[in-house]
Structure 1
Amino acid sequence: MEESLTDLKLINEALEKKFAQTQAKAMNPLALAYIGDGIFSDTVRKYLIGCGQQNVNLMTKASISYVRASAQAQIIHALIPELTEDELRIVKRGRNVHSQVPKNASAADYCYATGFEALLGYLHLSGEPQRLEDLMVKSIAIINQLKP
Protein backbone atom coordinates (compact mmCIF):
# COMPACT_ATOMS: atom_id res chain seq x y z
CA MET A 1 0.00 0.00 0.00
CA GLU A 2 1.64 3.20 -1.15
CA GLU A 3 1.20 6.33 0.89
CA SER A 4 1.37 9.71 -0.70
CA LEU A 5 3.97 12.16 0.49
CA THR A 6 1.15 14.60 1.27
CA ASP A 7 -0.44 12.08 3.65
CA LEU A 8 2.87 11.45 5.41
CA LYS A 9 3.51 15.17 5.68
CA LEU A 10 0.07 15.77 7.23
CA ILE A 11 0.59 12.93 9.69
CA ASN A 12 3.99 14.29 10.73
CA GLU A 13 2.59 17.81 11.11
CA ALA A 14 -0.18 16.53 13.38
CA LEU A 15 2.27 14.50 15.48
CA GLU A 16 4.72 17.38 15.82
CA LYS A 17 2.16 20.11 16.44
CA LYS A 18 3.08 22.42 19.28
CA PHE A 19 0.48 24.20 21.37
CA ALA A 20 0.84 27.46 23.25
CA GLN A 21 -0.23 27.36 26.88
CA THR A 22 -3.26 29.47 26.02
CA GLN A 23 -4.27 26.94 23.35
CA ALA A 24 -3.81 23.99 25.70
CA LYS A 25 -5.78 25.79 28.45
CA ALA A 26 -8.67 26.35 26.06
CA MET A 27 -8.95 22.68 25.03
CA ASN A 28 -11.81 20.45 26.07
CA PRO A 29 -10.81 18.92 29.44
CA LEU A 30 -11.82 15.47 28.19
CA ALA A 31 -9.42 15.85 25.25
CA LEU A 32 -6.66 16.74 27.71
CA ALA A 33 -7.62 13.77 29.89
CA TYR A 34 -7.60 11.50 26.83
CA ILE A 35 -3.95 12.23 26.11
CA GLY A 36 -3.04 12.39 29.81
CA ASP A 37 -4.45 8.90 30.35
CA GLY A 38 -2.26 7.47 27.60
CA ILE A 39 0.84 9.27 28.82
CA PHE A 40 0.42 8.11 32.42
CA SER A 41 -0.35 4.55 31.38
CA ASP A 42 2.76 4.49 29.19
CA THR A 43 4.89 5.89 32.02
CA VAL A 44 3.61 3.26 34.47
CA ARG A 45 4.39 0.51 31.96
CA LYS A 46 7.93 1.84 31.47
CA TYR A 47 8.35 1.99 35.24
CA LEU A 48 7.24 -1.63 35.71
CA ILE A 49 9.57 -2.86 32.99
CA GLY A 50 12.36 -0.72 34.45
CA CYS A 51 11.81 -2.46 37.80
CA GLY A 52 12.67 -5.74 36.09
CA GLN A 53 9.18 -7.07 35.57
CA GLN A 54 8.87 -9.32 32.52
CA ASN A 55 5.61 -11.19 33.03
CA VAL A 56 2.92 -9.38 31.03
CA ASN A 57 0.07 -10.71 33.18
CA LEU A 58 1.74 -9.48 36.35
CA MET A 59 2.57 -6.13 34.77
CA THR A 60 -1.03 -5.68 33.68
CA LYS A 61 -2.29 -6.42 37.19
CA ALA A 62 0.35 -4.17 38.75
CA SER A 63 -0.38 -1.28 36.40
CA ILE A 64 -4.03 -1.28 37.44
CA SER A 65 -3.00 -0.25 40.95
CA TYR A 66 -1.56 2.96 39.45
CA VAL A 67 -4.03 3.84 36.71
CA ARG A 68 -7.41 3.02 38.26
CA ALA A 69 -9.62 5.98 39.12
CA SER A 70 -9.31 5.56 42.90
CA ALA A 71 -5.49 5.61 42.68
CA GLN A 72 -5.47 8.67 40.46
CA ALA A 73 -7.88 10.42 42.84
CA GLN A 74 -5.47 9.73 45.71
CA ILE A 75 -2.59 11.03 43.60
CA ILE A 76 -4.26 14.32 42.74
CA HIS A 77 -5.35 14.90 46.35
CA ALA A 78 -1.71 14.47 47.41
CA LEU A 79 -0.40 16.72 44.63
CA ILE A 80 -2.88 19.60 45.00
CA PRO A 81 -0.81 21.54 47.59
CA GLU A 82 2.11 21.86 45.18
CA LEU A 83 0.20 22.73 42.01
CA THR A 84 0.34 26.18 40.46
CA GLU A 85 -2.85 28.21 40.06
CA ASP A 86 -2.97 27.37 36.33
CA GLU A 87 -2.47 23.66 37.03
CA LEU A 88 -5.16 23.68 39.70
CA ARG A 89 -7.54 25.39 37.28
CA ILE A 90 -6.96 22.59 34.74
CA VAL A 91 -7.57 19.94 37.41
CA LYS A 92 -10.83 21.63 38.43
CA ARG A 93 -11.99 21.89 34.82
CA GLY A 94 -11.26 18.20 34.29
CA ARG A 95 -12.90 17.26 37.57
CA ASN A 96 -16.05 19.21 36.79
CA VAL A 97 -16.65 17.95 33.24
CA HIS A 98 -19.59 15.59 32.88
CA SER A 99 -18.83 12.16 31.48
CA GLN A 100 -19.98 8.56 31.86
CA VAL A 101 -18.60 7.01 35.05
CA PRO A 102 -17.46 3.38 34.67
CA LYS A 103 -19.11 0.74 36.85
CA ASN A 104 -15.88 -0.03 38.69
CA ALA A 105 -15.29 3.54 39.92
CA SER A 106 -17.04 5.92 42.26
CA ALA A 107 -18.26 9.16 40.70
CA ALA A 108 -16.03 11.27 42.96
CA ASP A 109 -12.91 9.23 42.23
CA TYR A 110 -13.62 9.29 38.51
CA CYS A 111 -14.03 13.07 38.51
CA TYR A 112 -10.73 13.61 40.31
CA ALA A 113 -9.00 11.04 38.09
CA THR A 114 -10.22 12.95 35.05
CA GLY A 115 -8.79 16.13 36.58
CA PHE A 116 -5.44 14.39 37.12
CA GLU A 117 -5.35 13.09 33.55
CA ALA A 118 -6.35 16.52 32.18
CA LEU A 119 -3.42 18.05 34.05
CA LEU A 120 -0.99 15.56 32.53
CA GLY A 121 -2.42 16.15 29.06
CA TYR A 122 -2.16 19.91 29.52
CA LEU A 123 1.48 19.72 30.62
CA HIS A 124 2.33 17.47 27.69
CA LEU A 125 0.61 19.55 25.04
CA SER A 126 1.76 22.91 26.41
CA GLY A 127 5.40 21.82 26.25
CA GLU A 128 6.30 21.37 29.91
CA PRO A 129 8.06 17.98 29.82
CA GLN A 130 10.10 18.48 33.01
CA ARG A 131 7.07 19.44 35.09
CA LEU A 132 5.14 16.53 33.56
CA GLU A 133 7.92 14.09 34.40
CA ASP A 134 8.27 15.44 37.95
CA LEU A 135 4.55 15.01 38.66
CA MET A 136 4.44 11.52 37.15
CA VAL A 137 7.42 10.39 39.23
CA LYS A 138 5.76 11.79 42.35
CA SER A 139 2.51 10.08 41.32
CA ILE A 140 4.16 6.68 41.13
CA ALA A 141 5.86 7.30 44.48
CA ILE A 142 2.51 8.22 46.07
CA ILE A 143 0.95 4.93 45.00
CA ASN A 144 4.05 2.98 46.04
CA GLN A 145 3.76 4.49 49.55
CA LEU A 146 0.09 3.47 49.77
CA LYS A 147 0.75 -0.17 48.90
CA PRO A 148 0.71 -2.64 51.79
Structure 2
Amino acid sequence: MKNPLVYAYIGDCIYEFYIRKFLVEEKMCKLKEIQRRSLNFVSAKSQRKIYEALNTQGFLTNEEEEIVKWGRNAHGGKAKHTDIVTYRIATGLECLIGYLYYQNNLERIEQIMKEVIKNESIW
Protein backbone atom coordinates (compact mmCIF):
# COMPACT_ATOMS: atom_id res chain seq x y z
CA MET A 1 0.00 0.00 0.00
CA LYS A 2 1.07 3.52 -0.69
CA ASN A 3 1.20 6.37 1.77
CA PRO A 4 -2.38 7.61 2.38
CA LEU A 5 -1.33 11.13 1.41
CA VAL A 6 -0.24 9.84 -2.00
CA TYR A 7 -3.69 8.32 -2.44
CA ALA A 8 -5.24 11.61 -1.33
CA TYR A 9 -3.11 13.55 -3.81
CA ILE A 10 -4.27 11.38 -6.72
CA GLY A 11 -7.81 11.24 -5.32
CA ASP A 12 -7.96 15.03 -5.30
CA CYS A 13 -7.10 15.10 -9.02
CA ILE A 14 -9.70 12.46 -9.88
CA TYR A 15 -12.38 14.10 -7.75
CA GLU A 16 -11.81 17.47 -9.41
CA PHE A 17 -11.75 15.87 -12.87
CA TYR A 18 -15.18 14.31 -12.33
CA ILE A 19 -16.60 17.61 -11.08
CA ARG A 20 -15.22 19.58 -14.03
CA LYS A 21 -16.44 16.91 -16.46
CA PHE A 22 -19.92 17.08 -14.93
CA LEU A 23 -20.02 20.87 -15.20
CA VAL A 24 -18.82 20.87 -18.81
CA GLU A 25 -21.38 18.20 -19.72
CA GLU A 26 -24.03 20.37 -18.12
CA LYS A 27 -23.35 22.61 -21.13
CA MET A 28 -22.12 25.52 -19.09
CA CYS A 29 -20.43 27.78 -21.60
CA LYS A 30 -18.68 30.37 -19.50
CA LEU A 31 -15.40 29.17 -18.08
CA LYS A 32 -15.68 31.62 -15.18
CA GLU A 33 -18.98 30.01 -14.13
CA ILE A 34 -17.54 26.50 -14.44
CA GLN A 35 -14.60 27.51 -12.26
CA ARG A 36 -16.84 29.16 -9.64
CA ARG A 37 -19.15 26.15 -9.39
CA SER A 38 -16.29 23.66 -9.34
CA LEU A 39 -14.81 25.44 -6.33
CA ASN A 40 -18.08 24.85 -4.48
CA PHE A 41 -17.69 21.10 -5.04
CA VAL A 42 -14.00 20.69 -4.34
CA SER A 43 -13.52 22.77 -1.20
CA ALA A 44 -12.69 20.92 2.00
CA LYS A 45 -15.96 22.17 3.51
CA SER A 46 -17.97 20.70 0.64
CA GLN A 47 -16.05 17.44 0.77
CA ARG A 48 -16.75 17.15 4.48
CA LYS A 49 -20.46 17.68 3.87
CA ILE A 50 -20.55 15.11 1.09
CA TYR A 51 -18.64 12.60 3.22
CA GLU A 52 -21.11 13.12 6.07
CA ALA A 53 -24.03 12.63 3.65
CA LEU A 54 -22.48 9.44 2.25
CA ASN A 55 -21.84 8.21 5.77
CA THR A 56 -25.37 8.99 6.97
CA GLN A 57 -26.83 7.18 3.95
CA GLY A 58 -24.64 4.15 4.61
CA PHE A 59 -23.33 4.51 1.06
CA LEU A 60 -19.74 3.52 1.86
CA THR A 61 -18.72 -0.03 2.72
CA ASN A 62 -16.93 -0.84 5.98
CA GLU A 63 -13.67 -1.25 4.05
CA GLU A 64 -14.16 2.16 2.41
CA GLU A 65 -14.83 3.73 5.82
CA GLU A 66 -11.54 2.27 7.04
CA ILE A 67 -9.70 3.80 4.06
CA VAL A 68 -11.29 7.19 4.84
CA LYS A 69 -10.15 6.90 8.48
CA TRP A 70 -6.66 5.89 7.38
CA GLY A 71 -6.44 8.95 5.13
CA ARG A 72 -8.01 11.21 7.73
CA ASN A 73 -5.45 10.20 10.34
CA ALA A 74 -2.44 10.76 8.08
CA HIS A 75 -0.38 13.75 9.08
CA GLY A 76 -0.10 16.02 6.08
CA GLY A 77 -0.08 19.70 5.40
CA LYS A 78 -1.88 22.43 7.25
CA ALA A 79 -5.47 23.33 6.60
CA LYS A 80 -6.02 26.34 4.37
CA HIS A 81 -9.24 28.32 4.75
CA THR A 82 -10.81 25.74 7.08
CA ASP A 83 -10.41 23.97 10.40
CA ILE A 84 -8.17 20.94 10.80
CA VAL A 85 -11.05 18.47 11.33
CA THR A 86 -12.73 19.50 8.08
CA TYR A 87 -9.39 19.34 6.26
CA ARG A 88 -8.67 15.84 7.54
CA ILE A 89 -12.12 14.51 6.64
CA ALA A 90 -11.70 15.92 3.12
CA THR A 91 -8.27 14.28 2.92
CA GLY A 92 -9.86 10.99 3.96
CA LEU A 93 -12.43 11.19 1.18
CA GLU A 94 -9.71 12.03 -1.36
CA CYS A 95 -7.65 9.12 -0.03
CA LEU A 96 -10.56 6.76 -0.69
CA ILE A 97 -10.91 7.96 -4.29
CA GLY A 98 -7.16 7.57 -4.88
CA TYR A 99 -7.12 4.14 -3.26
CA LEU A 100 -10.00 2.95 -5.45
CA TYR A 101 -8.15 4.26 -8.49
CA TYR A 102 -5.03 2.25 -7.65
CA GLN A 103 -7.22 -0.80 -7.06
CA ASN A 104 -8.53 -0.22 -10.60
CA ASN A 105 -12.05 0.06 -9.17
CA LEU A 106 -13.20 2.75 -11.58
CA GLU A 107 -16.79 1.53 -11.39
CA ARG A 108 -16.94 2.31 -7.67
CA ILE A 109 -15.35 5.73 -8.21
CA GLU A 110 -18.05 6.41 -10.79
CA GLN A 111 -20.78 5.36 -8.31
CA ILE A 112 -19.38 7.57 -5.56
CA MET A 113 -18.96 10.58 -7.85
CA LYS A 114 -22.51 10.21 -9.18
CA GLU A 115 -23.69 10.31 -5.57
CA VAL A 116 -21.52 13.38 -4.90
CA ILE A 117 -23.05 15.19 -7.87
CA LYS A 118 -26.55 14.05 -6.95
CA ASN A 119 -26.09 15.64 -3.52
CA GLU A 120 -25.00 19.01 -4.93
CA SER A 121 -27.80 20.76 -3.06
CA ILE A 122 -26.37 20.00 0.39
CA TRP A 123 -23.77 22.71 0.09
Q: TM-score range by the shorter chain?
A: over 0.9
- 2:95 corresponds to which of 113, 118, 137: 118
Q: Which residue of structure 2 aligns with residue 7 of structure 1?
A: none
Contact kept in structure 1, 2:11 and 2:96, CA below 8 Å? yes
Post-superposition shift, 1:131? 0.8
Post-superposition shift, 1:132? 0.7
Amino acid at match of 1:111: R
Q: Deviations over 1:70-116 (max 9, x none)?
A: 00011111112221121111100111111222331211110000000
Q: Which residue of structure 2 aligns with residue 66 of structure 1?
A: 41
Amino acid at match of 2:108: R
Q: Which residue of structure 2 aligns with residue 145 of structure 1?
A: 121
In 2, Cα distance between the equivalents of 1:42 and 1:82? 21
Bigger relative contact order, structure 1 or 2, given CA contacts below 8 A and separation 6+?
2
Percent identity, aligned pairs only, is 36
Count of aligned pairs between the two proteins? 121
Q: Which residue of structure 2 aligns with residue 43 of structure 1?
A: 18
Q: Deviations over 1:107-144 (max 9, x none)?
A: 111000000000000111101111110001101122x2
Structure 2: gaps (5+ residues): none
Q: Which residue of structure 1 aligns with residue 54 of structure 2?
A: 79
Q: Which residue of structure 2 aligns with residue 98 of structure 1?
A: 75
Amino acid at match of 1:46: K
